[in-house]
Structure 1
């Protein structure tokens, strides 16, 4: 069995089987995707993020490196996507959704289970959790502002940013950890239970969302967005870790994690803010399907080019 087929069967296929289960479930029973999304957004994801920050045993150097690489890559892709959108003559709303779909990736309900299955190492999962937190900080600031600015004033866009709860959850967890506060088990145990349920619900919700997406094969912007998201993004991450002299597990997780498809949150915010939701949905669908091949190539490249 080749490395490609081994990785596909043992890492990629399990993820897509759960995604497919979510699609089948929604097709058969027409589940309430908005309720599942709210469950993730307000309970499961905050619990998982809080617990990962609070229990993280990563050194401050690793946390700083992971955060720096993630944010640098995101800012680089935002700048690149803005230039491309301007060159292609997109309207303000089209430009904003193109930038977000190219930049923001499925760091939670795709990358997190991917890293867990691929490395089977709590350190790798903790690193991905840091990537997830850095990504969420960027999304719920830059991403929300970009999506809001598609059809709103800068002031209204800023207000939407300040409404996002995850920013405050992450800040609170960091304060609790740095202050050495010991959380009693009756509070910590429910957080662990909710964290354990996050992965399954996230993948099922992704499948349900994708099952309702209509695909337009003639839209070249979708393929360009997917190319930036799936190929350019991990390439930029590899360039950054190389320039910073980062290698080993940290570098591999960063490169692989940043090769994930477009985040479902891009769709949710586009729907909520009425900003090109159809393009956003198609971008998630297209990039997720294509990632079945590209993420395997990124994994192979990361293991081949980055020293252990």
Structure 2
């Protein structure tokens, strides 16, 4: 099976089936998208991230390298996206969503299954879990601030970050893990149930939002965002791992992971903050469709350029 058909059948198709279900449900029943978003931000996502951090089995060295490389790449993409937005004269709200849609990727319900299927190695999946953690640290600080600053003051954007539970949840999980504290099973079990529901609800919410979105195929900002997200981002990741001397499965996972399409969280934050949710939805949909082609190019390049 080729990379293209493999990725389409095992990753893209399941994602689009759930997105379509969300669109059909919203068309039929007019779902409360705001409530779905709050459910994810305050219950499902914190549960998922807590378990990912607490259950990670990687060495401290690998974790440190993964987080360091991920944050460097993310900050570089933020800088590049900001420069493009300045050059093209985007408004404050347009710039904020453009930066987020170009920078933050679907590290959970796209990259995780892709890495699991591609490498068939638990180490690779654990590395991706740490990338997910680093990605969310960046998103729920820099990303939320960027989204909030699109139509809020700097002070209000900062206050909004402090209200988000994600950073506190990940910090608590890291403290408990490093302290060797065993969490009782009656607490782990409900967290596991809630965590398993995140992916489905996130994609259903995206489908619901897409069903209310008008697509403008001539929107240059949309294609620029996808170009940076799908091709520039993994190229920068490859450059950073090469400069830092990172090799093998760790380098390959990082490069492939950064080739994922725009994160659903970009849509959720845009809905929550009422900051261009239509463009954010279009960016997620467009980059996900285009990734059917681009992710295969990224995979082939990663395996060809990075020694095993």
Q: TM-score, normalised by structure 1?
A: 0.91
- 1:56-82 alpha-carbon deviations (Å, 9 max, x no partner): 110111111111111111110111111
Contact 1:12 1:114 in 2 (8 A): no
User: What is the rounded CA distance, in whole Å, between the counterparts of 2:11 and 2:264 in structure 1?
Assistant: 21
Report the CA distance between 1:145 and its aligned residue.
1.5
Alignment CA distance shift 1:15-1:91 (3 Å): closer
Which stretch has the larger CA shift, 29-38 or 259-268? 29-38
Alignment CA distance shift 1:125-1:32 (3 Å): farther
Equivalenced residue count is 308
- 1:185-233 alpha-carbon deviations (Å, 9 max, x no partner): 1112222233333333333333333333221011111100110011101
Corresponding position: 1:207 with 2:207: yes
Contact 1:81 1:98 in 2 (8 A): yes
Match of 2:96 in 1: 96
Alignment CA distance shift 1:276-1:3 (3 Å): closer
User: What is the rounded CA distance, in whole Å, between the counterparts of 1:194 and 1:273 in structure 2?
Assistant: 24
User: What is the rounded CA distance, in whole Å, between the counterparts of 2:160 and 2:30 in structure 1?
Assistant: 30
User: What is the rounded CA distance, in whole Å, between the counterparts of 2:80 and 2:262 in structure 1?
Assistant: 16
Which stretch has the larger CA shift, 153-162 or 214-223? 153-162
Alignment CA distance shift 1:46-1:249 (3 Å): same
Which stretch has the larger CA shift, 216-225 or 268-277? 268-277
Match of 1:186 in 2: 186
Segments of structure 1 that go 5 or more residues without pairing to the other structure are none
Equivalences for 1:125-144 in 2 at 5 Å? Answer: 125-144=125-144
Match of 1:301 in 2: 301
Contact 1:8 1:296 in 2 (8 A): no
Alignment CA distance shift 1:274-1:41 (3 Å): closer
Report the CA distance between 1:257 and its aligned residue.
1.4
Alignment CA distance shift 1:194-1:272 (3 Å): closer
Match of 2:239 in 1: 239
Alignment CA distance shift 1:207-1:264 (3 Å): same
User: What is the rounded CA distance, in whole Å, between the counterparts of 1:260 and 1:30 in structure 2?
Assistant: 30
Aligned residues: CA RMSD: 2.0
Equivalences for 1:278-289 in 2 at 5 Å? Answer: 278-289=278-289
Segments of structure 2 that go 5 or more residues without pairing to the other structure are none
User: What is the rounded CA distance, in whole Å, between the counterparts of 1:23 and 1:122 in structure 2?
Assistant: 34
